[in-house]
Structure 1
């Protein structure tokens, strides 16, 4: 068996590729079951976020080509459209990759905390679907524990650096005084909530929250004295917005070029700053062609993020050391599984010998032998039977000059020298 991490992320693939291979909530269970049908796959988890799509598998063999092809086929894409952007990690490297991802060390924003919740949700979905087992259970528990310790023991989460923070920082560069501006937030997930929090802390004038579920929009808007609307009402309120930040799970754009053009006319071409954090994108790319529109995607946030992440680099070095410890621990546990079957067989043999000797001892008692004689028979016979094969093998190892085997036997049996003098 081997562990595989296969996928693509913001480092290897542009947003126009990433958005084509996402696994939304409505299809991920079916995707997990489809992947599990591959005879090489024993366990699997799919992680799909704005910045990455990754498949974690326990395989019967080290052959990931069919799985890479599966990603393309599942999304109806030619293999050569996806393959150039894929990376794969096996064994120890796969374990380390998952731990680094869970701790935010592989994120667009170094150390961002949202990814841990996304990893936990991905694992829970796979567990609910029935595609995980004890190997991935142990692996993901290690990832969660490592992330928790890194948050506790390092300062990696102390600086407010995230895609949402970067978006608000950029808005502050464009609008010197946010108190005069209105922000329209599309979606009501963690990223949008974080953006709302940063906007509020920077004194935004008004917040409008648009979401498919209006009740959830109301809950979020109420925290920041804003008001909520449905996605279908965006066209009626877009002209009020100076800032638009969008992050939904919609498979199709929720804001088109025509709607934005109408809003600009109503605003008399006062500019609108837009940030599309979603993958697939929420805002049609053609919107960027309009005058008075400043549209940024997650990929455009990189420069802003780089300026705000330097304080986390030292903490990241400490985090890497913690990760190494957890990787070593998991790999040690994985190697220990190889001994489980041997231990079970060894115990089975010993128990079989015990039963045979006990049976004979009971027969002796039935024939009138004393308990003391029966006990002596058990001790003598069982000792001889248990020691016969190891003694024979060690004697042969000495004859063959296999010193390493003798040293291993000494380590295995923890043999202590005894004084035979009387």
Structure 2
């Protein structure tokens, strides 16, 4: 099994495509189980945010095609169209990508901290669904550890700038003094909470929070000194809102062109600033056609975000070094684990040979044979049987010009040139092997 990451993000696809492959929280458990039911994938976790959808797998080398077909089928998208927007990483590249994602280095806003929490949620969902095992568990835990080191050992987290902050910062291009404006925030998740905090820091105090669950809306609004309402109450407060920022998990738009048009008439066409952070989108794209409405999506925040990237490039280079260290450490551990199965098989084979020879010796002793003769015979048989396979393969490899196999044998058994090795050994360490080969030839004759 190998580690595979297949994904789509803000760099490879527009928001229209990203919203088509987004996973709603209620569909995630069944989606995870469907992936492992393909049999090509033994472990899987899915990360789905406004900027990316990524599938993390432990799979065989044929799993990529089947995974792409499954993703397209699940979302009713042509696999070829999807393939044009996807990226695929294997093994160390997959590990490196996941650590960069966890550390905020692959985010639209360089170093943003929210993605780590989202990745932890993805891991928790996969654990709850029973679709992660030893390999992905180790990868997630190592990625979380590296992300923590990046946060504590570099300055990438100083003066944090997130998509939420970028949305609020852009509103100042329309309204110079936010303290005189009113905000309507749609949703009550982590992103909207950050938006509310940033608005308060910039002086805006009149905040209304709309959410499907009234209790959650009122809880967040109370923290900000605002009011909470249901989504169904939005048309009543919309005419009074200067700033509307939305981030929900709704599969369908919450604000349509008609309702915004009616609100504008009541406002006598005073401008409205809107940011739709959600994927799928909460605000119908046609709203952008209305005069006096400034509607932005996550893809429109690039200018603010690029400025943030420039200010954090130095810290990002330090973070990349930490990530490279983490990748090397993880791959070393992965290779060591891969060797465990081979070593178990090797030891098991040797133990079977040993047990067979011990059983023969015990039977001979019980029959009254000479003990010294039996011990010597058993030792000779063990030596011949244990070294027969390596002897044949080393001779064959050397004859074929693969001298590295003989060098591996020297390293494995510490057969340093010029040093005798055991009774009758010579400078080349061949004396212990030659009798076995000769004995084999005699037996063939």
TM-score (norm 2): 0.84
| Partners of 2:109 and 2:308 within 8 A in 1 | no
2:376 and 2:146 mapped to 1: Cα distance? 54
Q: Please name the residue that 1:324 is paired with.
A: 324
Question: Is 2:205–2:224's contact at 8 Å kept on the other side of the alignment?
Answer: no
Residues 7-406 of structure 1 aligned to structure 2 (within 5 Å): 7-62=7-62, 64-356=64-356, 359=359, 384=383, 388-389=387-388, 392=391, 396=395, 403-406=403-406
Contact persistence 1:394–1:406 (CA under 8 A): no
Secondary structure at 2:165's aligned position in 1? helix
Determine if contact 1:165/1:195 at 8 Å carries over to the other structure.
yes
Q: Cα deviations across residues 44-97 of structure 1 (Å, max 9, x unaligned)?
A: 222111011122222222452333232222122334543322222223222222
Distance 1:338 1:189, change over 3 A: same
Does the CA contact (< 8 Å) of 1:8 and 1:87 recur in 2?
yes
Provide the rounded CA distance (Å) in 1 between the counterparts of 2:408 and 2:354.
Answer: 26
1:157 CA drift (Å): 1.0
> Aligned partners of 2:218 and 2:414: how far apart in 1?
68
Q: CA deviation at 1:4?
A: 2.4
Shift of 1:144: 1.4
Distance 1:230 1:378 in 2: 88
Which SS does the other structure have where 1:251 is aligned? coil
Q: Distance in 1 between matches of 2:348 and 2:79?
A: 50
> Relative to structure 1, is the Cα distance of residues 399 and 308 closer, same or farther in structure 2, using a 3 angstrom cutoff?
closer
Mapped to 1, the partners of 2:41 and 2:275 lie a distance apart of 39
- Kindly tell me: are residues 216 and 373 of structure 1, through their superposed partners in 2, closer, same or farther at Cα, counting changes over 3 Å? farther
Farther-moved stretch of structure 1 (37-46 vs 174-183): 37-46
Contact 2:358 2:378 in 1 (8 A): no
Question: 2-side partners of 1:123 and 1:324: how far apart?
Answer: 22
Structure 2: tracts of 5 or more residues without a match: 424-445
Residues 256-280 of structure 1: per-residue CA shift (max 9 Å, x gap): 1222122222222221111100000
Q: 3-state SS of the aligned residue for 1:324?
A: helix
Change in Cα spacing, 1:37 to 1:376, as seen in structure 2 (3 Å) is closer
Distance verdict in 2 for CA 1:83–1:366, change over 3 Å = closer
